[in-house]
Structure 1
Amino acid sequence: MKSPIPDYLDEILDSVRSDDAGERADYIPELASADPDRLGAAFATLDGEIYCAGDADSAFSIQSISKPFAYALALTDRGISAVLDKVDVEPSGEAFNEISLDDEGRPLNPMINAGAITTHSLVGPEGCSAEERLERLTAGLSAFAGRQLSVDERVYGSELNDAHRNLAIAHMLRSYDILAEDPGVVVEGYTRQCSLMVTVHDLAVMAATLANQGVNPVTGERVVPASVIRQVLSVMSTCGMYDAAGDWTTQVGIPAKSGVAGGIIGALPGQLGIATFSPRLDKHGNSVRGVSLFERFSSDMGMHLMEVPAAARSVLRDHAPSGTETVRIFDLQGSIRFAGAERVVREVVGAEITENRVALDLTAVHSLDDVAGRMLLEVARRLSMEGKEVFLIDPDTVIPDPDPGTDGQLTVVSRGDELH
């Protein structure tokens, strides 16, 4: 049986594919020539499962999505207090390339260019060279992605040729002693940082590493400390989408960061990482179709951070038949949301089910959100379409509408002993 999650991603991509609103980032020649119809999305779970749809494996430049990861490295290398001395954490409410400084000359936050240029200068140990800093940054972002990343020299050259505003910002920062070295050298390094090439698959893993308290769920490597992740996700929540941050927080409610190449990442703490890609941008510099995708993900799957479930752990136990048993039983337990339901789906999909009868036992489930219920019903529907007789043991009616469709057979029972 095939998992329904890739099908869901395909369906959602199709729902936004016809939207051709927005424009490519024409102020960077390499981005202005990007294929505007490219579209991809990926989910990465905290135990390393990756679900991709659309154009998920073609490379594009990371651009401003590098900012939270560089911030995480700077916090790790220099400490939170030292970084806060140079970069504040207040939302600016302004465009990404505005010169937003406080009274002491500090950039307002690390997600706008002024803050990101400063943050770049703080990666690596104090006194390191520009080359050592770039090596540290590339290695760090590669650790977040779980594979070696590299700079696209064409993108780098294209951006650097028109980096006049960033150079002006850097010179302003140097005048306040926020930057302690040659502004031109820092901007060159920052531009290389933004020119690292990634895929939607990479970004989903990077976002999942943020959601997993700094541990890459694919490689198992701890990239940065958990205390750093809390700081990064907090700033992403309030500043990651620039002057659209308020709308994003209320409508989507997932800590996120966008880039002008068309990528967006979202990190839902304790659940999963999300990434999308579509090059056409809105007036804020965020991907038009990417924003629509995240709005759907949040709405469909109850991902808004303010929708807090009862604290519990979901568990699945697989009863393989023995003796006279003629039914395969999957026991579910606890409070189940998307991440828990995805694990259930994966284990059922991966199980070798030779029995003609299958039961999903929800007796010990005390909380089940809408998306988890729909996912479990879809599993039941697909099992029944494969010729299985499916039983839903739901004595407390945690799934209010148990009909998974008309393509198969589902029986709702209240006690497991009715199955033998």
Structure 2
Amino acid sequence: MTTNLTVDDVTSNDPFGEEASATALLRFATAGSVDDGKSTLVGRLLHDSKSVLADQLEAVERVSLGRGQAAPDLALLTDGLRAEREQGITIDVAYRYFATARRRFILADTPGHVQYTRNMVTGASTAELAVVLVDARNGVVEQTRRHAAVAALLRVPHVVLAVNKMDLVDYAEPVFAAIAAEFTAYAASLGIGDIVAVPISALAGDNVVEPSAHMDWYGGPTLLEHLETVPVGSDPSGEPARFPVQYVIRPQSEQHPDYRGYAGQLASGVLRTGDTVTVLPSGHTTTIAGIDALGRETDIAWAPQSVTVRLTEDIDVSRGDLIASGPTAAPTKDVVATVSHLHERPLRAGDKVLLKHTTRTVRALVKEISYRIDIDTLEQRSGAEGLSVNDIGRVVLRTSEPLALDGYTQNRRTGSFLLIDPADGTTLTAGMAGESFRTVAAPAAEEDWV
């Protein structure tokens, strides 16, 4: 008998206890251009939701007073690097953990400078929601479109447009309406389905946690209200099971002389004792004999639990193999993917790299760079000799061993991979298998990009 699991079922078995399971968890990222006020917004969100410790606030007040500022500079709550405080910009991804009575949050405050766009890929890769800030005085700029494109590329389900600094445009509704219409049209062209626009002033606190008295024309939720109520998670039983094997457990003890278990974290879906599964890339089919979690045997496991799976047949399974149920893609050595290049060293056709997919790492060759994507127009610029840092493009790879890659649009965990420098282990590129980004072909009369 098949039983559907809900998010409530999952959180009710949270190993962190009843208090942690009382609220759902939302992972979200903030992004925007330089000086749009991301760090101030995050500081305001933490401050007004009572998520700042007293000693942290006192330290910020001391620094602000030393600078001659009458009010505390809330951006200092997130800009932790010395270079960030000196330059007044965000450089690294700052993670913050906080909670309200309705939900727990993991926040990734990502840099706004074009030089650090790659850091947004890191911060938003696991996010379920992205908050894109826009300065009401400047409107939608190139970096705004770039961040929206990255959110679409990473398949972030929900996007919030926070039109900041409304106090500097006299809280004018037409200014907000024009920016919201332009951004919504662009985001929709990228394939982003859920877009909510909120007019705010992070400095003054308007519509961040408390409703604004200056914008009575706005009838929507505050930013925090939306974060607390946006749907998160999904029914794991509606997804195919994917279990990357991290480690083979053979205790060789007298109590369990024949024990063979495969440990890992369930990437998606549900596994049950008795389920028929396929081990990839070998293609062997078997059934689940048992599941061990937290030192106890259980009949069921769901993503993202870490468990040990036992199989009925003694077949060859090792680290990097994928135990799967449901529809699976045929393992292949030919990988076509959309990628975001993260390193200063360009990625070029002919480069030899390592490809890391879940727990499996194989050698790979960059056979072709099909095109680079123009973020402004979403056009495909063919003829590129390589991808530079922050570029998004299409590549064709050939791997030394077959990989069981899902399409990224179907599974963010098993459809993603990294390209690594085999010489020093540096991460070069983040990849999304299959067709994961809406683009348009460049006009025929236009010269190829070089």
Same fold (TM over 0.5): no
Q: By percentage of residues, which structure has more helix?
A: 1
The TM-score, its normalising length taken from structure 2, stands at 0.27
Q: By percentage of residues, which structure has more strand?
A: 2
**Higher RCO by CA contacts (8 Å cutoff, separation 6 or greater):** 1
